[in-house]
Amino acid sequence: MGLPGQPTLEMVATEAGVSRSTVSRVVNDSPQVTPEAVAAVTAAIDKLGYVPNRAARILASRRTFSIALVIPENTAKFFADPYFATVIQGVAMHLSSTEYTLSLLIAPELDAEKTRRYLQAGNVDGAIILSHHSDDRSYLLLAHSIPVVFGGRPVSPEGTVASYVDVDNVEAARAITEHLLAHGRRKVATIAGPLNMSAGIDRLLGWREAVSDAGLDTSLVEHGDFTPASGAAAMRRLLDRGVPIDGVFAASAQMASGALTVLREAGLNVPGDLGLVTFDDDYFAASAVPPLTTVAQPSVEVGMRMASVLLRIIDGEQVPAITMLPTTIVERTSA
């Protein structure tokens, strides 16, 4: 009667001459099924080309086999930042060897509440919050109801319980600043990130350590929000101070690229008059004129590790809360 349509578990059962329960057991490879039954069922499955219906399975089992990757930014920033693309790639890559599906959520601050509800409504087994460029307090509570892994240490008022994957921003910032100092720069400024993100805080800290250890002036600080425009504005404010500057550490390559245009307009040569180093080895750093010496962070690896940690948490394993990944310095010609 009627068209067969997509084969269902029921049809497999009939074909194999067993009950639906048995088919279900075979599909979920339960150990307690006789070899004969297994053989009959797998044969039927192959013959019919049966694939379990995901929705039905989720509904009945209360497991979704999917995780969310939340990017708390508006689409414009998401669009502009190559970092996100590479991290996604890492997450997807790890997931590809598992049963899990990825659900990408670009969630501006505005509907953070809505997003949180969606996540709490049992639509995913866990979530990765990529807070690299954003405040994330609203997501901290989430960790109480479902497994969560943060990308970048979340800034929390109290002690954090959430897991996260990050690089040592303080150390990396210090190292790249010392690179500047090693090239003889003595009036070293920084275009820092926002202070409500750990990357902003830590990179400023690293810069300050390096400069202060060298006995130099630590007051040459202006802030941006990691975007090119904000980097340009900060650079302008720095120049407007009227004090001599011969080195700048910009906390993101995007800000550095903005700063570069301002320097060019001001008739300043890089690296002739001034050394410029930055953070992120992306398109902005590589294609700048001149190409920028920078801190490279393993963003694909960050994605992979976040996924791996999250899945292990979901599986009930005991995983260290903090995963630190190494950075390297890529020397180009801007220092």
- CB nearer to DNA: give 7 or 108: 7
Q: Judged by CB, which is closer to a second copy: 190, or 327?
A: 327
| Closer CB to a second copy, 117 or 241, in the complex | 117
Q: Write the single-letter amino acid at 249.
A: F
Residue 327 Cβ vs a second copy, minimum distance, rounded to whole Å: 17
299 strand-pairing partners: none
Residue 39 binds which one of a second copy, DNA, none, with CB within 5 to 8 A depending on kind? Answer: none
User: From DNA, a second copy, none, which one binds at residue 27 (CB under 5 to 8 Å depending on kind)?
Assistant: DNA
The three-state secondary structure class of 183 is coil
CB within 8 Å of 306: residues ≥ 6 apart:
87, 90, 91, 128, 149, 151, 165
Give me the least distance between CB of 22 and DNA, in Å please: 4
105 binds, among a second copy, DNA, none (CB under 5 to 8 A by kind): a second copy
Cβ atoms within 10 A of the Cβ of 96, count? Answer: 10
Question: Toward DNA, which CB reaches closer, 31 or 267?
Answer: 31
Minimum gap (Å) between residue 10 Cβ and DNA: 6
Nearer to DNA, 117 or 264 (CB): 117
Shortest spacing between CB 45 and DNA, in angstroms: 10
Q: How far is CA 253 from CA 102, 236, 296, in A?
A: 28, 17, 10
* Residue that has been written with the tokens 């989430």 in this structure: 142
| Of 247, 253, 239, 251, nearest in space to 270 by CA | 247
Q: How far is the CB of 126 from DNA (least distance, A)?
A: 18
Taking CB within 5 to 8 Å according to partner kind, which of DNA, a second copy, none is near residue 139? none
Site residues, DNA (CB under 7 A)? 5-6, 8-10, 18-22, 24-25, 27-28, 32-34, 36-37, 50, 52-53, 56-57, 59-62
Which CB atom, from 52 or from 138, has the smaller least distance to a second copy? 52
DSSP 319: -
Tokens of 257: 């690229």
Kind and range of the H or E element at 149? strand 148-151
Is residue 221 helix, strand or coil? strand
Q: Residue 271: is the preceding peptide bond cis (ω within 30°)?
A: yes
User: Looking at beta carbons only, is 86 or 190 nearer to a second copy?
Assistant: 86
d(CA 175, CA 183): 13
State the minimum distance, in angstroms, from the CB of residue 1 to DNA.
12
Kindly state the smallest distance separating residue 61's Cβ from DNA, in Å.
Answer: 4
DSSP letter assigned to residue 292: P
Other CB atoms within 10 Å distance of the CB of residue 301: 19
Residue 102 partner contact from a second copy, DNA, none using kind-dependent CB cut-offs of 5 to 8 Å: a second copy
**Smallest separation, CB 26 to DNA (Å):** 8
Least Cα distance to 203 among 294, 270, 137, 135 occurs for 294
| Interacting residues toward a second copy by CB under 8 A | 6, 49, 51-56, 58-59, 64, 66, 75, 78-79, 82, 84-86, 88-89, 92-93, 95-97, 101-106, 117-118, 120-123, 282-283, 286-287, 291, 300
Residue 34 touches which of DNA, a second copy, none (CB < 5 to 8 A by kind)? DNA
What CA–CA distances, in Å, run from 99 to 6, 70, 102, 307, 328? 21, 20, 10, 12, 33
20 binds, among DNA, a second copy, none (CB under 5 to 8 A by kind): DNA
